[in-house]
């Protein structure tokens, strides 16, 4: 394949993932993948059980699950790269993708793609296109999630490298605040009154088993989670905002109480599973890297792969699939098609009625001020009403530094997204970018240059201008600007609502009106575009629905015995609920810990 691409995982890591070499007795060889390390097969199989068009994450998970179950799978993609709607692209690949979007090659899926690329990114510039890996649908992986369990059980995690993400910031009143996301931080935060700490701890204890106490929340089942937290737990707006929008990663104030509680618990139960962080992300790329990992797993199990291989038609009477090169395949089970790769005049495509707006930027700055120690990523959340546009929907930003291996040193990638629609959504993204730019410049600027904040007395002793020191940083007008190497806007559509991805009833096979994946067209199943959900929660649910539709049951979904005892090293720790005390002891502990910390600070 002559087109530009990034170094593949097999070329980059021909054996075991480097960060876990001590976990395994024998090296693991990463299998080659057709069209990347191995040549594409010259012929198309004449007969297969399932044809899957599109190598997005859901399709790739499904291909691996079916292949290990024993089905013969032909997995194709019309693109020159793996990943489809989940791809990780170089800058040059991204340019081609934007052209395709604006030529309506992905109509009903993407529109309004606008791209700016600095001249510094070129064959003769400071940076090379291949040095960057841009995700089309960036995601984060909660430590306690279905996808991580599947990654472990299937051993696909051995093809990947993961890093931790512990820093979640909330933007309020022109400032970014780090979360009080642990008992210790809540105890030692001197800015929190004792009663506020007590209320927070009461809620943290409750939310771990919220579904077992319906009497507490039943009256709020159709009411906003914000109202529930205020009335039942007496929490104040800043703490409600953190819980709902930064920890729960909700989108607006209308999030119902059960949905909000489910999402807050997702974060808290993921904390300290593998360490003092709730979230992981994959190096070298997001969903595109995971898609490639599942494709490799499927290839080991016998799946056939072909890139630049487009499905043209399928005859449900003869059960014959025809491809763009004229080849054909007899299909004994089903055809599974990504919306971006559906044949012309396809029927019963899922309605793409939900909108996700994206703004991706590459900045020439490390942005280390947002990261935790030895980390290369952070989440910044802009709750409703926090921007100058008075945004109705939250804006979520994932920030990845060069240590994530998706960009060169001294650069950083910002992924901004919102479920706000139309021009209003673009305005919210622009306001978010403006706030982030101003903040990172303020935080990183040299204090000695800030309008004579520091001076020197006649005897050479440094002095501080206390008047200027007392001024708010947001009044500071920096002398430097932020250099953007790339800006990419695009509007994406999906059939999956932002919240219902965590509700299995959404995928009820008998409820066509609510069914967002697997809509049938005479033997053809259509997958869903990625939703606005920043987590991977939807991926396994959607793949299982499709698997059950084909096989008849999901009982043996990735039920494979790999006989690898060393995988036990990834076993999850039990969440220590005893760390949260009962109400009576809680107040005493809070007061004692707070007084002890205050005493140390005074010393």
CA distance 429 to 516: 27
CA distance 567 to 563: 9
Cβ burial 489-515 (10 Å sphere, 16+ → b, else e)? bbbbbbbbbbbbbbeeebbeeeeeeeb
CA separation, residue 30 to residues 59, 296, 297, 398 (Å)? 20, 8, 9, 29
**Residue 31 has what DSSP assignment?**
P
CA distance 599 to 603: 6
Average pLDDT over the chain reads: 82
CA distance 321 to 327: 9
CA separation, residue 301 to residues 122, 147, 506 (Å)? 40, 19, 31
CA distance 94 to 421: 23
Closest CA to 303 of 517, 16, 78, 62: 62
Closest CA to 270 of 145, 376, 149: 145
Residue 193's pLDDT is 67
CA distance 279 to 256: 24
Low-confidence stretches of the chain (pLDDT beneath 70): 1-2, 14-28, 177-193, 445-480, 500-521, 562-603
Report yes or no: 31 and 299 within 8 Å, Cβ to Cβ: yes
pTM of the predicted protein model: 0.85
Residue written as token pair 């599974």: 336
User: Would residue 173 be called left, alpha or beta, if left means φ above 0 and alpha means ψ between -120 and 50 degrees?
Assistant: left
Residue 81's pLDDT is 96
Residue written as token pair 């109480």: 257
pLDDT (tens digit per residue) in 421-433: 999 999 999 999 9
User: What own/partner pairs with CB < 8 Å and gap ≥ 24 does 316-324 have?
Assistant: 316/522, 316/523, 316/524, 319/523, 321/51, 323/44, 323/76, 324/78
Backbone angles phi, psi at 324, to 5 degrees: -65, -30
Residue written as token pair 């579904």: 211
Closest CA to 371 of 132, 163, 134, 144: 163
Report yes or no: 208 and 199 within 8 Å, Cβ to Cβ: no
Beta strands in 423-538 (DSSP E): 454-456, 462-464, 484-494, 519-520, 524-526
Report yes or no: 341 and 78 within 8 Å, Cβ to Cβ: yes
Backbone angles phi, psi at 454, to 5 degrees: -110, 145
Residue 405's pLDDT is 95
Cβ burial 343-381 (10 Å sphere, 16+ → b, else e)? beebeebbebebbbbbbbbbbbbbbbebbbeebbbbbbb
Cβ burial 33-69 (10 Å sphere, 16+ → b, else e)? bbbbeeeeeeebeeebbbbbbbbbbbbbbbbbbbbbb
Closest CA to 429 of 378, 393, 380, 395: 395
**∠ CA 200-204-208, rounded to 5°:** 165
Residue 174's pLDDT is 72
Report yes or no: 492 and 109 within 8 Å, Cβ to Cβ: yes
Burial class (CB within 10 angstroms; exposed 0-12, middle 13-18, buried 19+) of 192:
buried
- Going along the chain from its start, the domains and CATH numbers come out as 33-137+282-353+489-551 (3.50.50.60)
- Mark out the alpha helices in 401-483 (DSSP H runs): 422-444, 466-470
Residue 327's pLDDT is 95
């Amino acid at each position: 394949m002559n087109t530009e691409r990034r170094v593949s995982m097999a070329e980059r890591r021909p054996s075991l993932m480097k960060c876990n070499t001590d976990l395994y007795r024998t090296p693991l060889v990463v299998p080659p993948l057709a069209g990347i390390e191995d040549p594409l097969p010259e012929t198309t199989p004449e007969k297969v059980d399932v044809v899957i068009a599109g190598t997005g994450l859901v399709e790739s998970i499904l291909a691996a699950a079916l292949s290990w179950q024993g089905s013969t799978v032909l997995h194709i993609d019309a693109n020159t790269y793996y990943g489809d709607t989940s791809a990780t692209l170089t800058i040059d690949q991204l340019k081609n993708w934007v052209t395709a979007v604006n030529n309506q090659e992905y109509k009903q899926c993407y529109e309004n793609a606008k791209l700016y690329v600095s001249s510094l990114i070129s064959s003769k510039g400071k940076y090379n296109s291949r040095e960057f890996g841009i995700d089309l649908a960036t995601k984060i992986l909660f430590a306690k999630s279905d996808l991580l369990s599947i990654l472990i059980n299937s051993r696909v995690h051995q093809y990947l490298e993961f890093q931790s993400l512990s820093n979640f910031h909330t933007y309020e009143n022109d400032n970014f605040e780090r979360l009080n996301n642990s008992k210790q931080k809540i105890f030692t935060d001197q800015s929190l009154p004792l009663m506020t700490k007590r209320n927070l701890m009461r809620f943290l204890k409750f939310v771990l088993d919220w579904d077992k106490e319906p009497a507490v929340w039943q009256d709020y089942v159709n009411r906003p989670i914000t109202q529930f937290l205020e009335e039942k737990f007496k929490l104040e707006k800043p703490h409600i905002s953190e819980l709902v929008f930064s920890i729960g990663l909700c989108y607006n104030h209308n999030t119902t109480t059960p949905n909000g509680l489910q999402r807050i618990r997702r974060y808290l139960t993921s904390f300290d599973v593998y360490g003092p962080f709730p979230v992981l992300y994959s190096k070298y790329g997001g969903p595109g890297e995971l898609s490639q990992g599942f494709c490799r797993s499927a290839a080991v199990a016998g799946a056939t792969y072909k890139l630049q291989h487009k499905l043209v038609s399928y005859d449900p009477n003869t059960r014959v699939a025809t491809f763009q090169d004229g080849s054909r395949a007899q299909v004994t089970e089903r055809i599974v098609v990504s919306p971006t790769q559906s044949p012309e005049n396809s029927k019963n495509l899922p309605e793409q009625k939900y909108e996700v707006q994206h703004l991706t930027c590459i900045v020439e700055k490390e942005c280390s001020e947002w990261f935790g120690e030895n980390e290369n990523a952070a989440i910044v959340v802009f709750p409703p009403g926090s921007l100058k546009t008075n945004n109705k929907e939250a804006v979520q930003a994932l920030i990845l530094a060069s240590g994530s291996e998706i960009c060169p040193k001294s650069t950083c990638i910002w992924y901004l997204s919102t479920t706000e629609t139309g021009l209003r959504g673009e305005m919210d993204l622009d306001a978010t970018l403006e706030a982030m730019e101003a903040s990172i410049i303020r935080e990183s600027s040299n204090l000695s240059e800030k309008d004579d904040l520091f001076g020197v007395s006649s005897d050479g002793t440094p002095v501080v201008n206390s008047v200027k020191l007392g001024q708010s940083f947001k009044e500071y007008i920096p002398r430097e600007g932020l250099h953007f190497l790339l800006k990419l806007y695009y509007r994406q559509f999906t059939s999956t609502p932002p919240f219902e991805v965590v509700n299995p009833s959404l995928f009820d096979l008998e409820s066509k009106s609510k069914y967002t994946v697997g809509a049938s067209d005479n033997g053809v199943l259509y997958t869903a575009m990625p939703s606005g959900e920043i987590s991977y929660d939807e991926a396994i649910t959607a793949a299982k629905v499709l698997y059950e539709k084909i096989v008849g049951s999901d009982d043996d979904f990735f039920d494979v015995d790999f006989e690898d005892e060393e995988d036990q090293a990834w076993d999850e720790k039990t969440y220590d609920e005893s760390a949260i005390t009962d109400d009576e002891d809680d107040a005493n502990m809070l007061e004692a810990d707070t007084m002890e910390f205050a005493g140390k600070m005074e010393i």
